[in-house]
């Protein structure tokens, strides 16, 4: 029934009547092996709730925004950059991404990383780091080893 308020869970972290989409358009920002599902984006809500799934070894783009993110790791494990620190994450961990904090999520090489992400429905576009901002981030050896931006430093 299309107008049911319930969308049942399906195998593989999917839901009825929820499209699995590309994370972003190819070439818009460096990323690898990630999908996006918009779970809730309704007129009565001022937020959007999404599910992202990163395949083993994949990563999201390195970016920041003027809006905050509230993230819950739903499956798997990996690491994330928030600001200037890299953190290990696993199922049921909560991650707060403050406004204008650089952030990136990476799945471990042997496990996917699936997470729910709550953001404002009306929000600004992602900001990618310029060369100077990337150089500043890479001053930290831990961050330099972690970030993936599609250049020759990516492992």
List active site positions. Answer: 117
Nearest to 60 by CA among 142, 148, 120: 148
Quote the tokens at residue 132.
Answer: 């100077």
Write out the two tokens for 39.
């779970």
* Residue 9: CA count within 13 A, CB half-sphere: 4
Where in 28-68 does DSSP place strands (E)? 32-40, 47-59
Sign of CA dihedral 154, 87, 109, 23: negative
């Amino acid at each position: 029934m299309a107008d049911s308020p319930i969308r049942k869970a399906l195998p593989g972290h999917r839901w009825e009547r929820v499209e699995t989409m590309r994370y972003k358009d190819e070439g818009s920002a460096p990323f690898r092996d990630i999908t996006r599902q918009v779970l809730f984006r309704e007129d009565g809500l001022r937020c959007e709730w999404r599910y992202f799934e990163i395949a083993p070894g994949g990563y999201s783009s390195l970016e920041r925004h003027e809006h905050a993110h509230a993230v819950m790791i739903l499956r798997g494990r990996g690491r994330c950059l928030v600001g200037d620190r890299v953190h290990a994450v696993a199922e049921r961990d909560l991650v707060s991404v403050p406004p204008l904090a650089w952030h990136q999520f990476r799945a471990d090489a042997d496990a996917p990383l699936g997470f729910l992400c709550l953001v404002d429905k009306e929000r600004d576009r992602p900001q990618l780091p310029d060369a100077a901002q990337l150089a500043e981030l890479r001053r930290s050896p831990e961050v330099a080893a972690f970030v993936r931006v599609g250049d020759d430093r990516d492992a």
